[in-house]
Amino acid sequence: MPNERPDTLDDILTGLNPVDATAAEQAAEHHAGLAKPPGSLGGLEAIGIRLAAIAGSTIPPAPEPAAIAVCAGDHGVLAEGVTPWPKEITAVMTSTFLAGGAAINAITAANGIELFVVNAGIADPLPADVSAHPNLLDTPVRAGSSNLRVEAALGLADATASVMLGITTGRRLIDDGARCLLTGDMGIGNTTPSAATIAALTGVGPDDAAIVTGRGTGVDDETLALKTTVIADALRRIEGGAVSGSPEALRVLAEVGGLEIGAIAGLCIAGAEARVPVIVDGVISLAGATIAATLSPVVTGYLIAGHRSTEPAASRALEHLGLDPILDLDLRLGEGTGGALAYPIVKSAARVMADMATIASLM
């Protein structure tokens, strides 16, 4: 079948195309002719031009409807005491998302974003009533990761499967009509693998682990010091190591990542494949985005940074990816909240391009 999509990660990555630089140039010219002083809408203009490059159209279509995939997974590194929260909270919060009672539900409802939850690897079984929810994609790769301080968190096969899960999810949402994807996460302890992943892919060595280590859920100084040591030990463990046959991004995901991080990477790739913008949330989503962009630099052009998380690894990833965050509200909740808050700004950027009068039309 001529329209059949590639079904292996290598083939998908090979088939990705860069954003349209010509459309971006034409969009910039269009913006300069709108009925306003040039540059007066600041960063909103840059977002509109980026949307044009993504769509390959001088005036980009409005990125709606939008769908967010909150990817959930558990982490073996909790055994090291990097957070006071128990792993059972992952399943509890997943149920809360589907019941509509979390912060991300309030924000997505306010902004017309449909919410889906992806069970990429929750350790505890979900209640039967939750498992039947139509917006739950209940296809876990495995029941959580291993302890990244002492062994590979996932292994190559499961790391690859988590990325493919994200691609399959993104394709499904796009096939069902989504014209903007948003990334979210849930996983107790997941700022630790996110920081380790970003460190490994941006050149932060074990001796500098403090550069990327943050307080996550608000841990005290003692736990922060422990968390820094855990990340340093994980980075030291993988220095010079290799997983046979894997590109660097998959090796890092396999060794120090997480299942929801891999799924988020896949969502970013699916957006690039379909030429659909992907609004990325905080540090966990940025870890996934960094994996995706390392697998294929083409992906970066399709990403929009929703906000700057207070986690230091988030700023490290933003700088590495060359992305300017839309919001800076001292957020560190995750769930996709920062990206969802940024969505109406992204939508407004497209509407400005399409709906504003030009100076020429008024003369």
Please tell me the distance from the alpha carbon of residue 184 to that of residue 82, in angstroms, as a whole number.
Answer: 21
Please tell me the distance from the alpha carbon of residue 353 to that of residue 262, in angstroms, as a whole number.
Answer: 34
Which residues, listed in sequence order, are joined to residue 304 by a DSSP beta bridge? 279
Q: How many CB atoms lie within 10 A of CB 134?
A: 7
Which run of H or E residues covers position 116?
strand 113-121
Distances from the Cα of 13 to the Cαs of 200, 268, 294, in angstroms? 21, 11, 11
Q: Which residues contact 11 (CB under 8 A, 6 or more apart)?
A: none
The set of catalytic residues is 335
DSSP letter, residue 125:
P
Q: How many CB atoms lie within 10 A of CB 91?
A: 21
Two structure tokens written together for 274:
């379909």
Q: Please state the three-class secondary structure of 42-97 as a single string.
A: CHHHHHHHHHHHHHCCCCCCCCCCEEEEEEEECCHHHHHCCCCCCCHHHHHHHHHH
